[in-house]
Chain A
């Protein structure tokens, strides 16, 4: 299975400041035939199911605020919240869907400083 790691485990950011979460896969999730990275980001708030934020590593899901952005390729990816809002307090997960067995990263908890 492809192993996903995330860093940091948690971070606290002041309102309006930038939050950056890193995700690394144990093998490339870039599919050469279509040049797409099979990598998604999710946000999960307490007591709720996860919500898809980003797919293909950098495509924002409809309705997701543009302060959320995804970048990276191959094995290294980043989710950036450009200006943290109170409603962004959550756990964020990356997930690869390159292999037939999907896998998630362990999650990064984002709080307000």
Chain B
């Protein structure tokens, strides 16, 4: 089964961008769909978007359209989530999560450890 390892914590200024990585190992990267989910302090889970690496196709939650970009590098089995125009409300733990398959969606059974992004002036 695939394992997902995320990049380390980030501290960013308001108005800047952050790019978080999610490296997959132990599975065939191209067989998976990778989602990004965030969780603000003390709050619930919020789905941001997903990518099908083998197709390079991503779709996003309407809330983040225009501000988030999800990409994947098949050569390194790594997915990325870049969020721009950061504001304090973007302070959260960002998770990548995956499911096996590209044609039919599924529950996300593998999760990264989470990356804390703090936005502060």
Whether B44 pairs with A104 at a CB distance below 8 angstroms is: yes
User: What residues of B have a CB within 8 angstroms of the CB of A100 in the complex?
Assistant: 59
Count residues of chain B with CB under 8 A from any CB of chain A: 22
Cα separation A55 to B101 with both chains bound (whole Å): 14
CB contact under 8 A between A101 and B44, given known A54-B107, A61-B107: no
B21 to chain A, nearest CB (A): 16
Which B residues from 73 to 95 make CB contacts under 8 A with A? 95
Q: Does B9 contact A (CB under 8 A)?
A: no
A96 to chain B, nearest CB (A): 9
Cα separation A27 to B98 with both chains bound (whole Å): 24
Measuring CB to CB, which residues of chain B are less than 8 angstroms from any residue of chain A? 35, 37, 44-47, 50, 59-62, 95, 97, 105-109, 111-114
Measuring CB to CB, which residues of chain A are less than 8 angstroms from any residue of chain B? 1, 38, 40, 42, 44, 49-52, 54-56, 61, 91, 93, 95, 97-98, 100-107
